[in-house]
Amino acid sequence: MSDTTTHVRTNAELDAVMAAAAEAAPVLAATAPGERAKWLRAIADALDADASSLVPLAMRESHLLEPRLTGELVRTTFQLRLFAEVLERGAYLDATIDHADAAWGMGPRPDLRRVLRAIGPAAVYAASNFPFAFSVAGGDTAAAIAAGCPVVVKAHPAHPELSRAVAGRVTDALKASGAPDGSFALVEGLQTGKDLVLHPNVAVATFTGSLRGGRALFDLAASRPTPIPFYGELGSVNPVFVTQAAASARAQDIATGFVASMTLGVGQFCTKPGVLLVPRDAGLEPLVVEAVRASAGGEMLDDKIRNGFFDGLGGLAERDDVELLAGDPTRAEVPTPTVYATDAAALLAHPAELLEEHFGPAALLVRYDSAEQALDVARALEGQLTATVQGADDDEQAAGLVAVLADKAGRVLYNGWPTGVSVTYAQQHGGPYPATTAPHFTSVGTASIERFLRPVAYQDVPDASLPPALQEGNPWRLPRLVDGEPVAAPTA
Amino acid sequence: MSDTTTHVRTNAELDAVMAAAAEAAPVLAATAPGERAKWLRAIADALDADASSLVPLAMRESHLLEPRLTGELVRTTFQLRLFAEVLERGAYLDATIDHADAAWGMGPRPDLRRVLRAIGPAAVYAASNFPFAFSVAGGDTAAAIAAGCPVVVKAHPAHPELSRAVAGRVTDALKASGAPDGSFALVEGLQTGKDLVLHPNVAVATFTGSLRGGRALFDLAASRPTPIPFYGELGSVNPVFVTQAAASARAQDIATGFVASMTLGVGQFCTKPGVLLVPRDAGLEPLVVEAVRASAGGEMLDDKIRNGFFDGLGGLAERDDVELLAGDPTRAEVPTPTVYATDAAALLAHPAELLEEHFGPAALLVRYDSAEQALDVARALEGQLTATVQGADDDEQAAGLVAVLADKAGRVLYNGWPTGVSVTYAQQHGGPYPATTAPHFTSVGTASIERFLRPVAYQDVPDASLPPALQEGNPWRLPRLVDGEPVAAPTA
């Protein structure tokens, strides 16, 4: 296994990595999508082939359980292969052709053709909580390589050995399948992470993690002499609104489903439902208490995350307007799932404090007194990755909530739970700040490739000098927009 | 004519404007695209109807000539109507449907549907150099209203009366065609401009203007507690590369075309070709000198811009590695078109200084000694709005330049001139920093609507609570992506 790309920590080493990435960038940008599809499948195959060694390593470093990590690796290699399919379909290139038109309404137009192309070297900051799917060979890496961008991953310190092992597989698979040197590298260390986002050769950065860490990197990216797009997925409390009708019809299911989602992976999901809005006195509370008491804790990802979790609960516990409903916030090696409770009026009075994210198995139950008050809470929300409505059939309250929550969240769920983010064409894992720093984009799903592409238009350029995607004969058989009309991909 | 939205300068007035915009935002976001198409056409009709009073007002305030301003107004109303068509076609919504699939590769997927929706109140900073097309009712306003975002325009101080007059037409047309109060407002003043980008109710900002002014606003946008996307189009020298073969074949045409483009509108275009790369001793220089001497100057947009122009030329004149080729850099009410000359080696030694934008009728001619040296200059460029190649048939040098310049510019032209930006589906008016602060986006063309939209996904939401764009029956007859396959818009 190659380890030439690991342990990069010094400035001189980072410069060498970034020089190689800059050299590789135009080469990658010019490769055919079908070529990069092979690379992605080679990476997926290499990871699948080594599942029996990678999963135990991930278990040791993350404290997550085997079924979860095996499933996460399936998701990770599925994602790599799905991007290979996206490349083969070609719609992601958004190829658009306007033929010259002397009768164009504002005056004669030239021949104009636009296509998306790789933006340049990408810095990918790995997350702690998905050691496969949001780490070294995770969604950001898959999307960036799919787009044709060299990738430099900043390893998360919570799983260093796994990061190096996966980086070795990726490096070897890329080399074996013909990707140029400089296509991929792994770097480590807090200071290297800061240097990376400031490095002049970096064209785009992606991040999944805490509000504090992500905002610090966002600020660095914006402070550069040449600012770069920074796609940070930072934080979300993923509120769940239970309507009056749903509480009457499905109280037990809702209580059980909520606690299962809240405690999944020891509550360490960015989509963990952290706030549950329930109609006061609708009978849900005792069922939630019961479900919380019946749920199991688990060891957290690392000491820093565990300490942050208990510090946050400490802040809640000190408040007069919050009471402990179930669980135990006592600092321990293995945290107990814990739910606090408050009133909607208190939440509306102190939204910033009460809607802080607690990364771990904890949530806040909020009692509301009327449908209108629940809507007021929805309107007071900051940007969220997800917002969920638990409703019933023909539920007017639910319909009103869906409409308001679409203004606040990247994904609105109905009668489901936000954990478990499917990787599909329509998925949107994003949302207004602080959910992310870039509300136009998603970090999960096929559309996440857009973060690594920028449009270029060609005006009156001879066919032979056009990229194949824009040549008149459509050699890549792409679906295109021609003179304003969608034209389907020609069949072979 | 309404003037209720003008002269907004104080904080309290801005708060009132922004409160109205925030109230209007969800109402606008929920309107049908066909409804907003009517508003856009009403604005276009109102401006066309008043051309005979608006054009003279624009002439008085901008010093631009009647044919140019009449043409610009045509472009402006064409643009408004083109966005109305975009709304009616509906492809801009990017409606994507993934039906639930128990056999999905990573595990069963829920029903997921994604659509773009309005991002919220938009702050639009008007430019000085296009008093119609990049000002109060210009492309940004058209795109934002098309998207369903309330618009607050910060007037450019170079044409205050025209700004108020156009704002009155827009306000009246919106009201008459049924748009809600708060859909549009005009604000004025430097401090108001700064307060606007910091206002908590603003969700997105667009700007066309100088690097300095744009970067200052970008920094403010990034510094907010809740950062917002800032789409600044800042600056570009729009280099033109003349190949050896083109210089041999078309020297006179190139010299004449270059000077015409450089002096168009007194050189006050963001796409003005500011740098001309020519093969040394290929005979182009004397023809450029002749064409410059034969060209006419003109009064600039305002005193500040004229002073900035002469200050910049003063910086060039002081350099040892630059010589005056033609024209006269003497400070005057009406500047003389002026060209300096230098060598490619000097440019490569001091790219930042020599590639500074000079807004006005001036350019730098750069002599290169070999095709490889010209490519080195291309590789040394910062981000550009445009880059142009003047080539010949079967021109290998030209093909090499096109490939490298696609990495640097938003638009690559062949045997054309960058001024005159057509408003089409494939247009890309953008580019890497400092051309813009957001390389993924364009500020001209139908794709510019994307800046005002963000995706929202709906998971397992009942059909009746879905936005019409995502309902199973496709009531808006949109083209959609269904289970990964493009499905054309159903015909009526």
Cα maximum dimension of chain B: 75
How far B332 CA sits from the closest chain A CA (Å)?
34
Q: How many CB pairs under 8 A join A and B?
A: 253
Identity of the residue in A82, A219, A227 whose CB atom sits nearest the CB atom of B218: A227
Enter the ipTM. 0.97
Residue A167 pLDDT > 70: yes
Q: What HEC string does B9-60 produce?
A: CCHHHHHHHHHHHHHHHHHHHHCCHHHHHHHHHHHHHHHHHCHHHHHHHHHH
Among A308, A322, A143, CA closest to A209:
A308
A434 and B CB contact within 8 Å: yes
Helix and strand numbers, DSSP H then E, in chain B: 15, 17
Model confidence pLDDT, tens digit, residues B133-145: 999 999 999 999 9
Confidence label for A9 from pLDDT (cuts 50, 70 and 90): confident
Identity of the residue in B78, B105, B426 whose CB atom sits nearest the CB atom of A112: B426
The answer to whether B149 is a known catalytic residue is: no
What is the fold, at CATH topology level, of the domain defined by B240-414?
A: Aldehyde Dehydrogenase; Chain A, domain 2 (3.40.309)
- Chain A residues in contact with B107 by the CB 8 A cut-off are 71, 74-75, 422
What's the whole-number mean pLDDT along residues A411-436? 97
| Eight-state DSSP code of residue B444 | S
Q: Which residues contact B90 (CB under 8 A, 6 or more apart)?
A: B33, B469, B476, B477, B478, B479, B489
Vertex B392: Cα angle to B386 and B395 (nearest 5): 90
- Positions in chain B short of pLDDT 70: 1-7, 492
Model confidence pLDDT, tens digit, residues A457-473: 999 999 999 999 999 99
- Chain B residues in contact with A71 by the CB 8 A cut-off are 107
Among B95, B124, B136, CA closest to B112:
B95
pLDDT for position B4? 45
pLDDT for position B5? 47
- Yes or no, beta carbons of B488 and A484 under 8 Å apart: no
- Chain B residues in contact with A96 by the CB 8 A cut-off are 425-426, 447
Q: Which residues of A291-304 are buried (b: 16+ CB within 10 A; e: fewer)?
A: bbeebebbebbbee
Identity of the residue in A30, A458, A481 whose CB atom sits nearest the CB atom of B425: A481
What is the fold, at CATH topology level, of the domain defined by B11-234+438-454?
A: Aldehyde Dehydrogenase; Chain A, domain 1 (3.40.605)
Residue A421 pLDDT > 70: yes
pLDDT for position A11? 85
B117 and A CB contact within 8 Å: yes
- Chain B residues in contact with A222 by the CB 8 A cut-off are 218-219, 222, 227
- Yes or no, beta carbons of A427 and B457 under 8 Å apart: yes
Strands B112-118 and B453-459, by their bridges, are: antiparallel
Model confidence pLDDT, tens digit, residues A208-219: 999 999 999 999
- Chain A residues in contact with B415 by the CB 8 A cut-off are 460
In this structure, which amino acid lies at residue B55? V
A357 φ, ψ (degrees, to nearest 5): -75, 135
The answer to whether B233 is a known catalytic residue is: yes
* CB neighbours of residue A255 within 10 Å: 24
Model confidence pLDDT, tens digit, residues B411-455: 999 999 999 999 999 999 999 999 999 999 999 999 999 999 999
Range list of β-strands (E), A79-129? 96-98, 112-118, 122-125
**Best residue in A419, A427, A472 for a mutation probing chain B (most B CBs within 10 Å):** A427
pLDDT for position A491? 84
Give the span between the Cα atoms of B321 and B133, in whole angstroms.
38
- Yes or no, beta carbons of A425 and B488 under 8 Å apart: no
Residue A140: both structure tokens together: 């950001």
What are the sequence ranges of the domains in chain A? 11-234+438-454, 240-414
Among A161, A157, A135, CA closest to A303:
A157
pLDDT for position A6? 58
Vertex A151: Cα angle to A148 and A154 (nearest 5): 160
Model confidence pLDDT, tens digit, residues A238-280: 999 999 999 999 999 999 999 999 999 999 999 999 999 999 9
Confidence label for A10 from pLDDT (cuts 50, 70 and 90): confident
Q: Which residues contact A9 (CB under 8 A, 6 or more apart)?
A: A187, A188, A189, A191, A192
